Structure 1
Amino acid sequence: MNHSLSSAQTFRSLFSLTAALSFGILLPDRIAHAADNTANAPQVTLGNDGNSNGQSLFRTLFDGQRAIGTGGMTSLEGSSGGGLATWATISGYGSDKSAGMAFHYSYVNVTNYWDQNVGASIGLFDRVELSYTHNFFQTRATGAKLGIGNGYQFDLDVAGAKVRLFGHVADNTLIPQVAIGAMYKHDSDGRIIHMVGSKHTDGADAYLAVTKLFPKVGILIDTTVRFTKANQWGIIGFGGDLDNNYHAQFEGSLGYLPPFLPGLIVGVEYRTKPRNQRFTDESNWFDVYTSYFINKHLNITLAYVSLGTIATFKNQTGFYFSAQTGF
């Protein structure tokens, strides 16, 4: 009982801190003191950055001064990072005097299900990230076997906020980039959600992410701790008849940047999951990915994914595809 209370208190503290930092840092008189001077930070690029020297209004608002790849990819939940894991990166390529943004489309096809994901994110002053994404989770013929109808679709909306506390992912120091964040999630179908033993159609996650690229050896490492009670990241609700408390979960990414092809990163990710429902087990996730930053405006990611058991159906393996554009 004390452990559950402590987890809930920790989650609320992280969520409140994220909101306070997000609004506080956006105030003009705070920006001058809070934002780091990224223009003077050493720039480690992953390929041709394609910067323009034009002085257009767009270039003023979105100056694109950060190094290519430092905005990360896009996760299933819309935040910048890997495919399965959220990183400490801030979306887009705007400096501490500007904004950045990214749009993405992702598709996951596993043994019995597929998921499409579309969304956008904006980075403000290399400090705050705001994101939104919508998941279309399609049960195909599996829906009929589950008794909810052939081709039944779950819809999940995710809105996120992230604040970089300190550090830069790609500078030449050993200090990592550290960020704190929160996500609010809404699942559209309360009838089915409650039928499978979930307690809520709405939920929130809070997380602390630490990310660092070591350019001399071409290694990228991320460690994220997430406080959540989401079932399958929220697709089938939050909490359950087995457990309705927040617990810390681990997300980790390891990437390698081969020197013979600038812009390419290959790696693995691992993510632990809560077990809240008697209705079904929930497995930890794993993927092997390759991502290529063609330039700042286009990034393509392909991955093999192993998602274990989803809604009683085991061995959910398949592929992941994502396309992202950034500014």
Structure 2
Amino acid sequence: MTPTALNSGSHATVALIGRKRTAAEAAEGAPIKAGVRLAVVWMGLGLGLGLGLGFGGAAMAQTATGGAPASSASSSALASPPPASSSAPAPSPFWSPKGKLLLTGGVSSIDGAAGGGLTPWALTGSYATEGQIGTTAYYTRLPTQDYGLTGYGALVAFGERAELSIARQDFSAGGTGAALNLPGLHLKQTILGAKLRLGGDAILDADTWMPQLALGVEYKSVDAAGLNPTLSALGAKRHGVDVYLSATKLLLAQSTLVNLTLRASRANQNGLLGFGGTASHRYSLLPEVSVAYLINKNWAVGAEYRMKPDKLNPSVLGDALKEQDWKDVFVAWAPTKNFSLTAAYVDLGKVVPGVQPRRQRGVYGSIQLAY
């Protein structure tokens, strides 16, 4: 597929661009509106349950004991070393001043949720423990041979129960935009996220088989600028909702963290090329894997793999928009609990191979501030 062919498309593509929406197509928008409502309701639920479970749990613990106010079991176990006779894990060099292990809150992912650079974890961001509110903010840059991605955002964590996040992405199409007669093309996406811990405790359950579990939702909205008519012709929507379940296991004795995420998604290139397409509007269940090794309390190295749904392949453009999985290897440095740097070598596979057939690889850099 040549750039000219992709730009002009087939007669079917030209016929689709610019036509009026039919009643059937208008009806198709109903699920998207429902998804938007679901995302808003879920974020409200995450906030309410996070506050209720976090602060309410501490109050119930105080009432049950009949004594003076006390921190939750999680905070008490994390804030001070257990006595020699206790069955709790022995003190670790990774304890942070607030009680949580440095780097086990993860870093900010490209979608804004706490985790690795590409995938979310079941852990909440920041170093807040029960009864506390923590915040983080980040800035990320990923240039590849033909494209560039800039991201920034913030999150609020309600203890270790829930988090709300917002992220903004700006994707420069570079030479691909010029090949499509759209020089200077930028695809811009906003992502609203919520995550709620369902069970388990990555630290207190480190000596058991039980992982920490969390359910998350991400509402995504993309503005593709001059590419919007083409996405409409391909059947891709401008809004979409991803839902994921993450399980994170911390192996303290091995200084290793393992995460598995299952994501229900129909996002094309993470949503930058819309959601779904003429090939399929159904959701795909996709695994994402992260492994991190804590070298010491300040340094971690690891790798990630994220599968993609490939909803624009095939299309009226053939396999010109075929999507491939993402992967990376990374190193993270956290000199204090308030600051971290992450660098990674990222492979995005072929992005719009009908125009740019080579794989897109680059060095990812991210800075995060936490409180």
The question of a shared fold, defined as TM-score above 0.5 by the shorter chain, is answered with: yes
Q: 2:261 aligns with which of 224, 229, 233?
A: 224
Instruction: Tell me the distance in 2 between the aligned counterparts of 1:41 and 1:126.
Output: 14
The correspondence for 1:183, drawn from 203, 218, 227, is: 218
User: Where do 1:167-182 residues align within 5 Å?
Assistant: 167-171=200-204, 172-174=206-208, 175-182=210-217
1:168-187, Cα deviation, whole Å (9 max, x unpaired): 22333322111001000010
Displacement after TM superposition at 1:295 (Å) = 1.0
Offset, 1:189? 2.9
Contact 2:248 2:259 in 1 (8 A): yes
Look up the match of 1:157: 190
3-state secondary structure, aligned to 2:350: coil
How many angstroms does 1:299 deviate by? 0.8
Deviation larger for 164-173 or 91-100: 164-173
Which residue is equivalent to 1:209?
246
Is the contact made by 1:47 and 1:294 (CA closer than 8 Å) also made in structure 2? no
Call closer, same or farther: CA 1:133–1:241 in 2, change over 3 Å. Answer: same
Contact 2:294 2:300 in 1 (8 A): yes
Distance 2:359 2:275 in 1: 22
Question: In 1, distance between residues paired with 2:351 and 2:228?
Answer: 14
State the secondary structure of the residue aligned to 1:232.
helix
Determine the C-alpha separation between the residues in 2 that align with 1:16 and 1:107: 28
Q: 1:74 Cα deviation (Å)? A: 0.8
Larger Rg: 2
Structure 2: runs of 5 or more not aligned: 1-30, 61-71, 80-90
Q: What is the aligned partner in structure 1 of residue 290 from structure 2?
A: 253
**Which of 164-173 and 235-244 deviates more?**
164-173
Q: What is the SS of the residue equivalent to 2:49?
A: helix
Q: Counterpart in 2 of 1:271? A: 306
User: 1 CA distance for matches of 2:53 and 2:216?
Assistant: 23
SS, match of residue 316 in structure 1: strand
- SS of the residue aligned with 2:349? coil
1:316 corresponds in structure 2 to: 360
Q: Which moved more, 1:172-181 or 1:314-323?
A: 172-181
Q: Distance in 2 between matches of 1:130 and 1:275?
A: 28
Provide the alpha-carbon RMSD of the alignment.
2.6
Q: Distance in 1 between matches of 2:263 and 2:332?
A: 24
What fraction of aligned residue pairs are identical, expressed as a percent?
30
TM-score (normalizing by structure 2): 0.75
> How far 1:141 sits from its partner (Å)?
2.6
Change (3 A) 1:111 1:184: same
Where 1:216 maps in the other structure, the secondary structure is: helix
- For this pair of structures, how many residues does the alignment match? 301
Which residue is equivalent to 1:40?
Answer: 76
User: Could you say if the C-alpha distance between residues 306 and 165 of structure 1 is closer, same or farther in structure 2, counting changes exceeding 3 Å?
Assistant: same
Q: Give, in whole Å, the separation in 1 of the partners of 2:327 and 2:54.
A: 40
Q: 1:152 to 1:190 in 2, by over 3 A?
A: closer
More strand, by proportion: 1
Report the equivalent of 1:284: 325
Aligned residue for 2:166?
Answer: 132
Residue 296 of structure 1, aligned match among 324, 329, 337: 337
State whether residues 46 and 264 of structure 1, in contact with CA within 8 Å, keep that contact through their aligned partners in structure 2: no
Most deviating of 96-105 and 161-170? 161-170
Structure 2 match to 1:326: 370
Deviation at 1:109, TM superposition (A): 1.0
* Residue-by-residue CA offset, 1:148-197 (whole Å, 9 max, x unaligned): 22x21110000000001112223333221110010000101365144042
Q: Deviations over 1:211-265 (max 9, x none)?
A: 111111111100000000000111111111111111101110011112xx43211
AA matched with 1:173: D
Letter in 2 for 1:162: K
Higher helix residue share? 2
**CA-to-partner distance for each residue in 1:22-48, whole Å, 9 max, x for gaps?**
154146488424996321234776757
Tell me if structure 2 keeps the 8 A contact 1:24–1:30: no
Q: Does 1:166 align with 2:236?
A: no
Query: For residues 107 and 178 of structure 1, what CA distance do their matches in structure 2 show?
Result: 29
| Counterpart residue type for residue 71 of structure 1 | G
Scaled by the length of structure 1, the TM-score of the pair is 0.84
Partner Cα separation in structure 2 for residue 99 and residue 45 of structure 1: 24
